[in-house]
Amino acid sequence: MSKTSDRFNLFEGLKALSDASFPKKCTSCGRRFESAEEFIRQTETAREGISGLKSTQDDSDRPIVELFRNCLCGSTLMDCFNDRRDLSHPGLRRRKLFGQLLNMLQGKGMSASMARVELIKILKGEPSSVLAKIGIETQKL
């Protein structure tokens, strides 16, 4: 594969992974949260002294945890956290894409663990000097 097609494949794969879960938006004020970390960092506990976490089940009876937070505008927001192994059709597609990206990087001589760390960095919006060294630009991601 050429460097240009590697860049395209990496960009498309990472874009598909991140598009699936964030950003989230406050329906009251329009504030956007680009990641779960940003959602937690830029909101407040819904009620003082209470974690805001509620254990429940999804429509398929799988356990999930709901997190209630207050936006800075005062609106109560909720995000769901479930088993990281999302077995829905979109979840399986994201896992497949992530696996393909891992395989691509391993094909370039990178260990599976290093490839995973570098892909997660990119998904979090962090730079990857390791990917840059092998000719894969990620600045546009």
Give the tens place of pLDDT for each residue, 17-26. 444 557 888 9
27-34, Cβ contacts within 8 angstroms, sequence gap of 24 or more? 27/75, 28/71, 28/73, 28/74, 28/75, 29/71, 29/72, 29/73, 29/75, 31/71, 31/72, 31/73, 34/125
Give the tens place of pLDDT for each residue, 57-93. 777 677 777 788 899 999 998 877 655 556 677 878 8
**0.75 cut: is pTM over it?**
no
Give the tens place of pLDDT for each residue, 103-141. 988 988 888 888 888 888 777 777 888 888 887 776 554
